[in-house]
Amino acid sequence: MSINLNVTKVGQGPNLVFLHGWGVNSGVWQPLIDILANEYCITTIDLPGYGKNHQELPEPYDIGSVSKLIAAHLPADCVLIGWSLGGLIAQQVAYDFPDKLQRLVLICSSPKFAKDLGWPGIDKDVLMLFARQLSLDFSKMLERFLMIQAMGSENAKFDVKTIKQNVQQYPNPSETALLAGLKMLENVDLRQQLSTLAIPCHLFLGRLDSLVPAAISEHLAECCPGVNIEVIAHASHAPFISDTDGFTKQLKAVLHR
């Protein structure tokens, strides 16, 4: 059975496409959309199993099948912007379908999320804990995950409240998609693909991010020298929420290059 994802478009101008992170949906982008829609045509795509696409589940559910689905819904000559898990999927799209993209922008994302010898990242025990908690209480698990995302932000409680308000307008994600996403975060390693990327790539990192440590910038400078990296001094995992106006200016500066 073919899968046709629900896609939302707003605004006019150059094409920007946004991919959200794990556990949430495209509602997370609303503060940014409210500003950017005056200058850009913005496409948001809920990942399979999330938001408006919560019933759309590819088989197998892996990074290859998801990136292929996303690529089929991209407007021509777009800038693909991915946050967290959405950034991991965006990297796969950029590697597999470079002709569809003008540029790749990653926000608090990484080619390898799991911590490993000589590579900073998320401890695999933390990912396993979220997997166990999923079957118990999704709402409480999401609350904990959002709090971890906001750690370090001066407005942590506000950040969590804003994200929850925006994403709770849509259906809860599929447990299948959530578990598959955790497996991607645990196992996928795209460092080799990112090092050979055929299009420009800009990565925003938050100095206070506890999920994607800013320390990966040093390692990426060695293995992926073509990636332009910018560390935001006072940001944690969701800089477009904690300082929407400031992040918008930084994003526009990249888009105008």
Tell me how far apart the alpha carbons of residues 251 and 3 are, in angstroms, rounded to a whole number: 32
Give the pLDDT confidence score for residue 109 in this predicted structure: 98
Give the pLDDT confidence score for residue 153 in this predicted structure: 76
Tell me which of 54, 202, 219, 237 is the catalytic residue.
237
Give phi and psi for 11, each to the nearest 5. 85, 180
Tell me which of 84, 153, 174, 242 is the catalytic residue.
84
Angle, helices 124-134 vs 175-187, to 10°: value is 170
Q: Across-strand partners of 41?
A: 15
Q: Tell me the mean pLDDT per 10 residues along the chain, length 257.
A: 88 97 95 95 98 96 97 96 98 97 98 94 88 79 80 81 88 93 96 95 95 94 94 92 93 94
Q: Which of 110, 105, 103 is nearest to 88 (CA)?
A: 110
Give the pLDDT confidence score for residue 163 in this predicted structure: 87
Q: Across-strand partners of 18?
A: 44, 81
CA distances from 40 to 74, 187, 201 (A): 15, 35, 19
Contact (CB, 8 A) for 178 and 172: no
Give the pLDDT confidence score for residue 152 in this predicted structure: 77
Predicted structure pTM score? 0.95
Tokens describing residue 136: 């118990």
Give the pLDDT confidence score for residue 251 in this predicted structure: 97
Contact (CB, 8 A) for 257 and 44: no
Tokens describing residue 74: 């991209």
Spatial neighbors of 192 by CB under 8 A, at least 6 apart, are none
Give the pLDDT confidence score for residue 158 in this predicted structure: 84
End-to-end, the C-alpha distance of the chain in Å comes to 41
∠85-90-93 over CA atoms, to 5°? 135
Give phi and psi for 83, each to the nearest 5. -110, 130
Give the pLDDT confidence score for residue 161 in this predicted structure: 87
> Is there a catalytic annotation at residue 209?
yes
> Is there a catalytic annotation at residue 110?
no
> Is there a catalytic annotation at residue 245?
no
- Per DSSP, 52 falls in state G
SS3 content of the chain, % helix, strand, coil (to 5): 45, 15, 40
Contact (CB, 8 A) for 15 and 45: no
Q: Across-strand partners of 114?
A: 122
Tell me which of 209, 219, 236, 242 is the catalytic residue.
209
Give the pLDDT confidence score for residue 1 in this predicted structure: 52
